[in-house]
Amino acid sequence: MADVLLRYLQTARRLDASLVRRLFLQDQDLLAAGVEQLVEAAAARVDVRSQHEVVSERDEEHPASHRRSVRFFDEPRPRPPRPLNFEDRVEEFPIAGTLREFGCPRCGASGKLRCSTCSGSGNVRCGSCSGSGSRDGKRCGSCSGRGVRTCSTCDGDGRVRCPRCSGEGELAAWQTVVHTYTVQDRRRESFPLPDPPAALVRALATWLGGHAEGVESFDGADAERHLGYRTETVDAVCGHAERSCEALEAEAQSGARGRCLFLQSSRYLAPLGYSVLRQDERASWYWLLGRGAAAIEVLPWRRPDPVKLLGWLGTAGFLIVAGILVNAMLEGATIPGGDWWTYGIGAIASVAAAAIGLPRAFARPRLVRTVVVVSDSELVSPFLPCVAALGSYVGAFHVRDSAWVAHLDALQGGVRSERQSDSITVQLLDGRRVRIVQVAQRGDGKAFSVAASGVDGVVYLGGRTEDGANALEAAAGAPAPASARLELTEAELAELQREWVAGMQDDNEIRARFRRLWKPVADVLGEACP
């Protein structure tokens, strides 16, 4: 599964720097958003395809000669679709035992009916001469002076063919048994949260369109084999998906749309990670569906800033008003639709709107500095929980993320994910913010080259700085940012964590420990250690 946090940082950096955002959208520094929750989950889809059979009977009645072209059966002999050979088909079986022949009751078995046009006379009144035989004193050419014409419906016969028996006078009736085979598809998705955004549902369809490898079952072990990880959320999604599957199968077998002959359930799982982020008062969700570079991002909705829009509308309004006035002055013409003073008020209002909105559009974005922490150890480093706890304790900053409960658990030795990067955003005493990202996938150059491009500095935990810098430079394909090394080994960090939990009592000692932790961060940022 792709690293949610690293992908988010990469996207946040790009979006924060985008001109469209600065000019039109709300000042929401995505990079500064605190992480409230980082969840490794999954999205599931269940496709249930079922084959149904509906048997019905139909009474048929045809002219007697028609029966000779019909193949009659003593009993229905349907060929139902073979299992898992889904097809739409209709089979009809006229039953021989139900066949009977009888005279057509409509025409009295004569096959003829009196012509309704000529009432059986075979002639109709001539329309050209109105039956007089002459027109304008001359003999009518249409009826040759007879005043009537031969009826075109019955051709002068006075009788027409009976439509029920097609003139045969005899009818044949029988019953036909109809077997209708239809295929029905049912689909249901499961996500970690109810009512997922429509974009996420579309992303799942897109991902499964290219990576539709089904899973045997939604059992935890199968899911883990497929995803490569297993969390409580994955289990919850799998449980929901399995229940959906059972519901769809029950619905298919309920017989509401005919007898279910067989069905096939396909189960799909896609890796899904999401992060709940909070920027000031707003919470937003960042979703990452899929694996690797092909993973699909579903970004938080970014709203237009009404004040910035006001500024642009004011500018446009002012330019229009100014254009009209200049045009009127140059041509010596009267200005359309009003006097000078109305345009003056319009111009003043437009300038005011522009003065309010444009400064915000061109304001410098809040600077969030980013430091990446890279460890050469295979262990999950307690660096971030220790920095958060000691820094807050000594009052050097306060942590803006709300994931402190997770850090509290981590300090007590709780298990943390090794697959996902971790981060904290701290607000220094002067109001500036620093985001510290601890890259999870050590040794994978691609993973942290994503985070390293454009960061303000890199702190190496253990190992040699030069080697790390060279590796980073090679991975990122660009000069490595400023780097520093923490003068504490992983074992010493673990010992610090234990001491903090067990009872570090001396405040001066705590301050000294914090300075030691923070110094490399301050160094790469080019600031004095608090």
Partner 1 sequence: MSLLEKFLALIGVERKRQVKKVPILGIEGSGKSSLIVTLGQYVSVRGLGNVTEESLAAFNVLLPYVMRGEPMAATMRYDPVALQLRRIPESATTSRDVDLLLTSEDIPGQDFRLLARELESNPNLERSSSELGAILDRLGKLLTACDGLIFVVDIARHAAEGERALWKAISEQIAPIMTAIRLATKRNGSIAGKPIVFVFTKPDLHGLPPERVDQVFRRSLAVPLGLLAGLGVPVHRVDVRCAGWSIDDPDLVGLGIDVLLSNLGHALGAVSPQESS
The binding site for partner 1 (CB under 8 A) comprises: 36-37, 193-195, 232, 276, 281, 283, 388-393, 395, 397-400, 402, 404-405, 407-409, 411-412, 427, 500-501, 503-505
Cβ 480 to partner 1 shortest distance, Å: 31
CB nearer to partner 1: pick between 312 and 393: 393
CB nearer to partner 1: pick between 51 and 425: 425
Cβ 49 to partner 1 shortest distance, Å: 31
Q: Which amino acid is at 198?
A: A
Cβ 188 to partner 1 shortest distance, Å: 18
What separation in angstroms does the CA of 211 have from each of 173, 198, 237, 402? 56, 20, 19, 35
Q: Give the C-alpha separation, 252 to 93, whole Å.
A: 26
What string of DSSP letters covers 35-101? EEEEEEEEEEEEEEEEEEEEEEEEEEEEEGGGGGGS--BSS----PPPTT----EEEEEEBGGG-EE
Chain centre to alpha carbon of residue 280: 27
CB nearer to partner 1: pick between 425 and 449: 425
Cβ 307 to partner 1 shortest distance, Å: 22
CB nearer to partner 1: pick between 268 and 285: 285
CB nearer to partner 1: pick between 286 and 460: 286
Cβ 284 to partner 1 shortest distance, Å: 10
User: Scanning the structure block, which residue is given the tokens 């992060």?
Assistant: 275
CB nearer to partner 1: pick between 194 and 336: 194
CB nearer to partner 1: pick between 294 and 429: 429
CB nearer to partner 1: pick between 75 and 281: 281
CB nearer to partner 1: pick between 444 and 507: 507
Q: Which amino acid is at 111?
A: G
Give the DSSP H/E element, type plus range, for residue 284: strand 282-289
Q: Give the C-alpha separation, 294 to 208, whole Å.
A: 12
Tokens of 524: 């790469």
What string of DSSP letters covers 108-157? TTSSEEE-TTTTTSSEEE-TTTTTSSEETTEE-TTTTTSSEEE-TTTTTS
Cβ 190 to partner 1 shortest distance, Å: 15
Cβ 281 to partner 1 shortest distance, Å: 6
| DSSP-based three-state secondary structure for 364 | coil
Cβ 274 to partner 1 shortest distance, Å: 11
Cβ 41 to partner 1 shortest distance, Å: 12
User: Scanning the structure block, which residue is given the tokens 């946090």?
Assistant: 5
CB nearer to partner 1: pick between 277 and 469: 277
Percent composition of the chain: helix, strand, coil (DSSP 3-state, to 5) = 35, 30, 35
Q: Cβ–Cβ contacts within 10 Å for residue 88, how many?
A: 12
Q: Give the C-alpha separation, 468 to 463, whole Å.
A: 8
Tokens of 457: 């500095």
Of the candidates 416, 409, 403, 397, the residue with the CA atom closest to the CA atom of residue 521: 397
Tokens of 188: 């249901």
CB nearer to partner 1: pick between 232 and 487: 232
Cβ 240 to partner 1 shortest distance, Å: 14
CB nearer to partner 1: pick between 277 and 353: 277
Cβ 471 to partner 1 shortest distance, Å: 32
Cβ–Cβ < 8 Å for 4, 286: yes
Of the candidates 43, 41, 29, the residue with the CA atom closest to the CA atom of residue 199: 43
Cβ 239 to partner 1 shortest distance, Å: 14
Tell me which DSSP letter residue 258 carries: B
Q: Give the C-alpha separation, 145 to 126, whole Å.
A: 9
Of the candidates 286, 274, 62, the residue with the CA atom closest to the CA atom of residue 176: 62
